[in-house]
Homo-oligomer: A and B are copies of this chain.
């Protein structure tokens, strides 16, 4: 219908997560209707990010400097390494401002369905880090799903031979959680791991 160049752009937009053909069309028209105010700034910003942003060779975070601003921050604890699935999870933890150590991005989690085995993940580089960081603490901050926990178990087995302690995020009732709406698995976990107060 529209010019092939436009149809091509719409097709590319529709591949973005949460977008479909209709919202991609709306997005492209929105940009074209405000070429100076929206389209050009977005294009410029994308060019800058495309050029400047790279994966940190130390932790796997995305940043404009390598090593990234987290790895090169001397105020962060050097002996804690938080293992996350991807950069989105790393950013989520950073937003919470609750953690002041190092990170290690796995780049995914083990998944038989998606054909992701240990070789596809950044596991060897984690073991190498642990080997030189004697007595460090590895905090497994992986999703509380079957795949996430499978990955956590696998990592725990691998790390046993190394001089480090391994911990994992606690499981239980989330803040603001109504017991009535919680699934049985979470309730069970919360009971098992109950604390004396």
Residues of A within 8 A of B (CB): 1-3, 5-6, 8-9, 12-13, 15-19, 23, 25-32, 35, 38-43, 45-50, 52-53, 62-65, 69, 86-88, 91, 94-95
Contacts and interface: CB of A to CB of B under 8 A. Distances in A.
Contacts of A29: 62, 86-88
Copies of this chain present in the complex amount to 2
Closest 3 CB pairs of A and B: A18-B23, A16-B27, A1-B94
Nearest to A34: B15
B45 A12 contact: yes
A8 B86 contact: no
A64 B192 CA distance: 65
A12 B17 CA distance: 16
